[in-house]
């Protein structure tokens, strides 16, 4: 027994030591403050060695017109840099001789280096860099690094290019009226899409790098003077506290900064539409953009936020109110309709009208499964068909999912496994889930209906009512960066009611929504 404990302790210690070594190695890369050496050959060889002699590392040597014995190198990564801009940039900025250097001696290489930086470069974003890690990060980000032999430092030129996806229509947030552009995987493009809509000097942008390995660029965008200062500081603090190896999508950032983890409800809103992000910035919220993903995070958020669509603000208020009522009604159908049917048919048959009760009993004749298992079977089958349609190629995904649902439902009824009424209820519930604009809330609702069905089968309507009470209590306990999740319903705010269940005409919306006020600390 003692030997087993010693072996377990040795394995645990070894695992901890390995983890410590990995963290030290990655932290060492981030905290390296060494400078760039003067010798060009030594610097180039160090870059080659640190990148593992990667074949996509391109190093081009040039000679200046009057100083052919002064080596100049341009270093960039193939596929991340615009080669046409590099050819134009190097020919006009490096190989051509600046006028102020015509009578300069070749030994004073520092002045040659400064002249290239100040006068010769033809690109817009140019900076001088002496730190090794910052130079390496710029190189791996697609910038071009210019180095002169005998000069300690480098010139970073923004010549980023390569293959990028063009701006296209939104995929998940489809609208009938309004702009058709959406965010892309380029964080620079996404910021420009917002700045085109909000031409304000108070639109402030803060950028940081997250991920010890990926070094992903993450930007925080807000309107200074409108966004609450405590909220801005809280978001900034949570982003800086993230300690992970890589950030490959905004969902990773969302999970690391959200207030509550053990909840099915999303406390961070995400969108791929620049107009929705701009509208939320005007309300005092903060947009978090992650390089490499088209989904932008909106902080803070509330429950009613997920029922608002872009079309609501581009058409008449009366029709927008009608559509919102349909969405809220669909949400209740999504979580309560199957459980209500189970409760009625299992515990409260006296509530069913006699003709309908006779019809339902006739359908259930010969069905071997109880109502709960019948509903569970159909719900799981519907989820499988939905997931299969999502993962299959677009050309056949929708056709297969629709045909599969029709054939499966019809065959199940004819085989006597389920009743026709259950197929109708499951189909209606599935269709109702697509009416909610916030896809993450729709996913949460699909999960919630399963425990609601179990409660209905166990206690009838008492179980359903108990489940609803627990659900509302849980929603009331949630916070999104200090903002109550159910606001402006609880706590009640009269001003906020103008854009929740209802949407009053634009002429009557004189005050900005207060639901974006936050800044509370994360609950431990």
* Dist CA 283 CA 96 (whole Å): 52
The three-class DSSP label of residue 145 is strand
Tell me how far apart the alpha carbons of residues 255 and 442 are, in angstroms, rounded to a whole number: 18
What integer pLDDT is reported at residue 22 of this predicted model?
Answer: 42
Geometric angle at alpha carbon 197, from 193 and 201, rounded to 5° = 100
Higher pLDDT, 115 or 38: 38
Name the pLDDT band for 231 (thresholds 50, 70, 90). Answer: very high
**pLDDT, the chain, mean:** 82
Q: What are phi and psi of 189, to 5 degrees?
A: -65, -40
Whether the per-residue pLDDT at 202 is higher than 70: the answer is yes
Whether the ω angle into residue 465 lies within 30 degrees of 0, i.e. cis, is no
Nearest-angstrom CA–CA distance, 418 and 408: 11
Convert the pLDDT of each residue in 441-480 to its tens digit: 988 888 999 999 999 999 999 999 999 999 999 999 999 9
* pLDDT grade for 20, boundaries at 50, 70 and 90: very low
C-alpha triplet 376, 377, 379: angle, nearest 5°: 65
Cis check: omega of the bond before 9, within 30 degrees of 0: no
Nearest-10 crossing angle of helices 317-346, 439-459:
30
Of 215, 245, 246, 242, the residue nearest 139 (C-alpha) = 215
Report, in angstroms and rounded to the nearest whole number, the Rg of the chain calculated over CA atoms: 30
Over residues 117-128, mean pLDDT: 69
pLDDT value at position 484? 93
Q: Is the pLDDT of residue 81 over 70?
A: yes
* Per-residue pLDDT at 18: 43
**pLDDT value, residue 97:** 56
Whether the bond between 491 and the residue before it is cis, its omega within 30 degrees of 0, is yes
CA dihedral 246, 247, 248, 253 (to 10 degrees): 150
Confidence label for 357 from pLDDT (cuts 50, 70 and 90): confident
Higher pLDDT: 436 or 509? It is 436
Instruction: Classify residue 1 by burial, with Cβ atoms within 10 Å: 0-12, 13-18, 19+.
Output: exposed
- Is the predicted pLDDT of residue 131 greater than 70, yes or no? yes
Classify 293 as helix, strand or coil: coil
* Selected residue with higher pLDDT from 297 and 154: 297
Greater model confidence, 399 or 345: 345
In 71-163, alpha helices (H): 83-90, 109-115, 132-140
Residue in 193, 239, 195, 192 with CA at minimum distance from that of residue 217: 239
Which tokens sit at 32?
């390296």
What's the chain's length in residues?
524
Q: How far apart are CA 122 and CA 137, in angstroms?
A: 22
Q: What percentage of the chain's residues is helix, strand, coil (to nearest 5)?
A: 50, 15, 35
Strand 71-77 vs strand 144-148: parallel, antiparallel, or unpaired? antiparallel
pTM for the full model?
0.80
Give the Cα separation of 62 and 44 in Å (integer): 14
pLDDT tens for each residue of 58-78: 888 877 766 667 788 889 988
Q: Is the dihedral of CA 366, 368, 373, 379 positive or negative?
A: negative
Averaged pLDDT for residues 389-393 = 76
How far apart are alpha carbons 294 and 90 in whole angstroms? 33
Higher pLDDT, 20 or 498: 498
Q: Which residue has the higher pLDDT, 393 or 227?
A: 227
Cβ(277)–Cβ(298) below 8 Å: yes
Asked if residues 76 and 144 have their Cβ atoms less than 8 Å apart, the reply is yes
Nearest CA to 491 out of 479, 502, 499 is that of 479
Q: What percent of the chain has pLDDT over 90?
A: 30
- Provide the pLDDT confidence category of residue 501 given band limits of 50, 70 and 90: confident
Cα 401 to Cα 115: distance, rounded to the nearest angstrom: 64
265-269, 402-406, 431-435, 494-498: least confident range: 402-406
Q: CA 341 to CA 77: how far, in whole Å?
A: 61
Structure-block tokens of residue 450? 């399963």
Q: Label residue 495 by pLDDT band (50, 70, 90).
A: confident
Residue 68 CA, distance from chain mean position: 50
Say whether 353 sits in a helix, a strand or coil: coil
In this prediction, residues 83-96 reach a mean pLDDT of 70
């Amino acid at each position: 027994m003692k030997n087993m404990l010693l072996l377990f302790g040795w394995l645990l210690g070894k695992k901890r030591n390995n983890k410590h070594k990995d963290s030290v190695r990655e932290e060492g890369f981030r905290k390296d403050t060494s400078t760039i050496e003067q010798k060009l050959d030594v610097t180039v060889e160090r870059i080659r060695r640190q990148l593992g002699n990667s074949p996509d590392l391109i190093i081009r040597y040039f000679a200046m017109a009057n100083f052919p014995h002064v080596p100049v190198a341009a270093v960039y990564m193939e596929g991340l840099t615009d080669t046409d801009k590099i050819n134009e940039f190097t020919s006009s900025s490096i190989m051509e001789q600046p006028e102020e250097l015509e009578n300069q001696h070749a030994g004073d290489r520092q002045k040659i280096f400064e002249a290239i930086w100040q006068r010769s470069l033809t690109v817009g974003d140019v900076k001088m860099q002496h730190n090794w890690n910052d130079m390496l990060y710029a190189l791996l980000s697609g910038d071009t690094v210019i180095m002169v032999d005998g000069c300690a430092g480098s010139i970073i030129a923004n010549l980023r290019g390569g293959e990028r996806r063009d701006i296209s229509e939104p995929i998940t947030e489809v609208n009938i009226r309004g702009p058709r552009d959406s965010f892309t995987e380029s964080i620079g493009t996404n910021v420009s899409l917002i700045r085109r809509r909000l031409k304000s000097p108070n639109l402030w942008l803060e950028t940081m790098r997250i991920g010890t390995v990926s070094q992903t660029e993450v930007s925080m965008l807000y309107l200074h003077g409108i966004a609450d200062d405590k909220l801005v500081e809280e978001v900034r603090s949570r982003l800086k506290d993230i300690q992970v190896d890589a950030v490959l999508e905004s969902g990773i950032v969302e999970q690391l900064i959200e207030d509550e983890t053990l909840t099915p409800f999303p406390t961070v809103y995400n969108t791929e539409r620049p107009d929705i992000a701009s509208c939320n910035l005007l309300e005092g919220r903060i947009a978090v953009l992650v390089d490499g993903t088209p989904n932008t995070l909106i902080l803070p958020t509330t429950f009613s936020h997920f029922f608002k669509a872009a079309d609501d603000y581009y058409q008449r208020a009366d029709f927008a109110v009608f559509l919102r009522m349909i969405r809220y009604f669909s949400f209740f159908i999504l979580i309560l309709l199957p459980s209500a049917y189970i409760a009625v048919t299992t515990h409260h048959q006296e509530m069913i009208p006699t003709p309908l009760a006779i019809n339902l009993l006739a359908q259930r004749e010969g069905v071997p499964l109880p109502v709960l298992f019948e509903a569970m079977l159909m719900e799981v089958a519907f989820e499988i068909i939905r997931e299969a349609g999502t993962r299959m190629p677009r050309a056949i995904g929708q056709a297969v999912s629709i045909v599969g649902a029709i054939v499966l439902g019809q065959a199940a009824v004819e085989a006597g496994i389920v009743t026709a009424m259950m197929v109708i209820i499951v189909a209606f519930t599935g269709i109702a889930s697509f009416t909610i604009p916030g896809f993450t809330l729709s996913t949460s609702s699909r999960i919630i209906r399963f425990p609601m069905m179990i409660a209905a089968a166990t206690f009838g309507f008492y179980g359903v009512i108990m489940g609803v009470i627990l659900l509302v209590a849980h929603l009331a306990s949630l916070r999104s960066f200090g903002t109550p999740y159910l606001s402006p319903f609880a706590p009640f705010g009269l001003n906020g009611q103008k854009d929740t269940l209802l949407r009053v005409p634009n002429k009557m919306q004189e005050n900005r929504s207060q639901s974006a006020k936050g800044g509370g600390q994360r609950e431990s």
